[in-house]
Chains A and B, each alone.
Chain A
Amino acid sequence: MSLLPHLGHGVGLRTVHYPHVLDRTARADWFEVISENFMIAGGRPLQILEKARELAPIVLHGVSLNIGGTDPLRKDYLSELESLIRRFTPAWVSDHLCWGAIGGRFAHDLLPLPYTEEAVRHVAARIRQVQDRLGRRILIENVSSYITYSISSMPEWVFLSAIADEADCGILLDVNNIYVSAVNHGFSPLEYLSGVPAERVGQIHLAGHSSQGDLLIDTHDHPVPTPVWRLYREAVRRFGAVSTLVEWDDQIPSFDELIAEANRAREIESEVLCANSVSP
């Protein structure tokens, strides 16, 4: 997205990295943090976040906005998000294209939506509501999924694009999620990439996944695998230089190994952009 800066190649900041923030050895282009982990009154996590943003720009990434849910948007949640934004001035704010709560009960998971016209209208209206409340454009991320609904009337990338257009929001394109869902549902990840409006892609996510029977599961507990790197290469070819972040949430390696993954993304981006610039 032209309105968003290119922050480079960052990493998801998790609690195991806090000592590196405190001793200022957590060197990364930028950090993404889970918004809900900092929706607290005080204590160490908020102090860490203050210190992290002295080291590098931060981005708030939410998991519980429930943008696709049918419960009313939680005003208390939006107030807390507003407070975080005021205090930490993130480069941008994102959440997931999914639902996660119903009847006031939260699954704390990223549950799949049916790709219908009703859902497009519903989700786009709620994104507009959030953007009006926050006074800023947000980014919405495609999630991994293990089911699709028989009532879906369009492919996921058309659904994502239609919502982004109607809501006038940005897209956080998770390349690993595209790959996982492509394998699980048998669509072409390249077709997905070509169906997403380049001008709305403000950030890219990379991560690892696991196998469970015939399904791939978005576990964020492995290095970025070769097919995802390959797809990232295609994404850079299509979208150009976009702020990219490596997520790693389980069996988290040393900070240096995490940074090495981010550096690999940087190298791939350079290679692709360099090749593009010399192409006739």
Chain B
Amino acid sequence: MPTPSLHEVQRLFWESVAVRPGRDSIAPALVRLVRGADDSDRKTRIRVYSDAYYLRLREVLREDFPKVTALLGGERFDEIVAGYLHAFPSEQPSVRHLGRALAEFLRSCEHIPKFLADLAELEWARVEVFDAPDADCATIDDLATVPPDAWPALRFSTIPAIQTLRVQYPAHQLWSKSHSLEVPAAETCLRIWRKNDFLVLHAPMDERESAALPKMISGETFAAICETYADLPEMDAAREATGLLARWLEDGIIARIGGAA
């Protein structure tokens, strides 16, 4: 038998080790390549790696999706993980990216309540916000120096550590529960952000905020943000929009306040 190349050895190893738990997928050619007392001993040694592959990555997903794990139940979650690793193996040197497609995978699974995919989306957004780029936050004092006639042309930039999410179920309510519950579908908009003290938070947004926040994120003016309240009398619209702005400042999601572009 010709000596296999380094690449061939690694290919055989990978195919035998990166497998669903409980399946004996060890390639006979790999067994022949491994030293041991007998085939049983050789397979036992190889299984140390296949067990470690699954257990290590399962642990990463459990840590990144604690609420999905709790609602699904550990055993059911582990079954999901086995299928997920097969469909979406890790493609980045850092294991931090492993859970990138779990929500998508859950959505494709039959017999998995759809609200769990929404909850997974929320948990993944929290992971992404956790280590998004840093930025200093603007404060309410920064607004105090703005002359009244400059307000309509004001533009804002948000901190990088913010995401918005539109889901079909109230994922934030599911996140707060530690047990399974029946939740009716209800389209929900959430913002997920990281405060200056590195705490990751999320909050539901009403229709007006969910329309206004994308305008701020895309750099539109305060006047454009006020249009979200166009159905209200002018003074009420300005008051509501200013109140929203104050809340965003308090929550630490505005990084910079600037003039006209």
Contact = CB atoms under 8 A, between A and B. Distances in A.
Given A147-B42, A149-B34, A116 B6 contact: yes
A154 to B, nearest CB: 14
B95 interface: yes
Contact of A105 (B9, B18, B161): B18
A42 B160 contact: yes
A36 B94 contact: yes
Interface string B125-166: 000001111110000000000000000000000001100000
B187 interface: no
Given A42-B160, A47-B198, A149 B33 contact: yes
B6 A70 contact: yes
B56 to A, nearest CB: 6
A150 B32 contact: yes
B82 to A, nearest CB: 15
A192 interface: no
A184 B44 CA distance: 12
A274 interface: no
Interface string A185-196: 100000000000
A217 B48 contact: yes
A74 interface: yes
Given A43-B194, A148-B35, A151-B4, A107 B17 contact: yes
A102 B13 CA distance: 10
A101 B17 CA distance: 12
Interface in B154-201: 160-161, 194, 198
Interface stretch (B85-93, B106-114, B204-212, B231-239): B85-93
B203 interface: no
Which range holds the interface residue count of chain A? 35 or more
Given A114-B6, A146-B49, A149-B35, A106 B91 contact: yes
Given A99-B10, A116-B6, A151-B4, A43 B45 contact: no
B11 A64 contact: no
A278 interface: no
Contacts of B49: 109, 111, 146-147
Contacts of A280: none
Contacts of A217: 48
B230 interface: no
Given A103-B14, A109-B56, A146-B48, A42 B132 contact: yes
Interface string A38-61: 011111111100000000000000
B10 A41 contact: no
Interface string A216-252: 0100000000000000000000000000000000000
Given A111-B17, A147-B49, 8 more contacts: A36-B96, A43-B161, A69-B10, A105-B14, A105-B90, A108-B60, A111-B13, A151-B4
6 contacts: A40-B131, A41-B160, A47-B198, A101-B93, A148-B34, A184-B45
Interface of B: 3-7, 9-11, 13-14, 17-18, 32-36, 42, 44-46, 48-49, 52-53, 56-57, 60, 89-96, 130-135, 160-161, 194, 198
Q: Give 3 closest A-B pairs by Cβ, nearest first.
A: A64-B93, A40-B131, A42-B134
Interface of A: 36-37, 39-47, 64-66, 68-70, 74, 77, 99, 101-109, 111, 113-114, 116, 118-119, 122, 146-151, 184-185, 212-213, 215, 217
